[in-house]
Amino acid sequence: MVTIEDEASESVPSAVRESGESAEGRRLSIGAMALAPGDKAPDFDLLDQRDEHVTLQGLQGRKVLVYFYPKADTPGCTKQACGLNEILGDIGDTVVLGISPDKPAKQLKFAETYSLGFPLLADVDHTVAEAFDVWKEKSMYGRKYLGIERSAFLVAEDGTIAEAWYKVSPADTPTRLLAALAT
């Protein structure tokens, strides 16, 4: 579903916005729609582990890996983050951004514990996860809940999705990124 609303509307969360707002001040919100190569990546403005704002639009002109993980400092998320950290020297000027619902303080502890060399962004209200269609119903031990579906997106220099990997495994994220950058 794509909705366009006026700037004054309260229903479009401020964390997600169209990269190039129209002269009329309209904003675009994408939800419940899987992203595919060629789609415009939803822009966002989130705090990193050091309480600094990071926007996707601010990185335009560079490739960006945006990856979503369920919770900082858990086994799968640690494996994924450390795997990406190990290949930072092999990906040129491609930016890596990790996003989870954790608060900046928890992201900072996670980054410091494992000496991660890239920003971890706090999507506490899961607005950005919804825009990328990774906020899903999950089930554990018969209990249903909403949470992050581990996914990764390679965003091209022009702000479009170059690759979309939904339900990616922690171990596959670095290898898929390296393969995509090699082509």
Active site members: 77
CB 25 within 8 A of CB 7: yes
DSSP 124-152: TT-HHHHHTT-EEEEEETTEEEEEE--EE
Tell how strand 143-148 and strand 64-68 pair up. unpaired
Q: CA nearest 123: which of 94, 154, 156, 97?
A: 97
Instruction: Count helices and strands (H / E) in the chain.
Output: 4, 12
